[in-house]
Structure 1
Amino acid sequence: MELRNILIIVALALYALAMAGIVSTDAYSQAAGAEARGVHALMAEMRSGGSGTAMLADAPPEVSRGVAR
């Protein structure tokens, strides 16, 4: 094997090990759980058709375009 191929294999192994370490941490699981709850809440809101509160689509054109006064 060429040295380049060996280095690529070693780099991939280290990357996989680092990713496994990150995924197994409590901080990652808390962030993933919060994201899942947020997506679930967003999907529930979209399915319900809104609760009558103003959404971005209901905002004035200046706000929708990001124009500040």
Structure 2
Amino acid sequence: MKTTTSAVKPTRKPNLRCPEPYGIFEHPTDCHSFMHCAHNIPYVMRCPPTTFFNDEIKVCDHMWNAPNTCK
């Protein structure tokens, strides 16, 4: 009996880029996360359960304030 193996390709994460060197910015694909940028390096932060990142006020906010695309 001959066995073979195949490599599994890792799932690619979105290529995140900071819009500015420093600051807090919305995540481009996940409304429950945001990016904290320092020296142009994005650090992805996750909001607590049942909240979303409100880019207008730069904080995790209640879901009843979320846009329909995030609910």
| Between structures 1 and 2, the one with greater strand share | 2
Same fold, TM-score > 0.5, yes or no: no
If the TM-score is normalised by the length of the shorter chain, which range does it land in?
A: under 0.3
Provide TM-score, normalisation by structure 1: 0.22
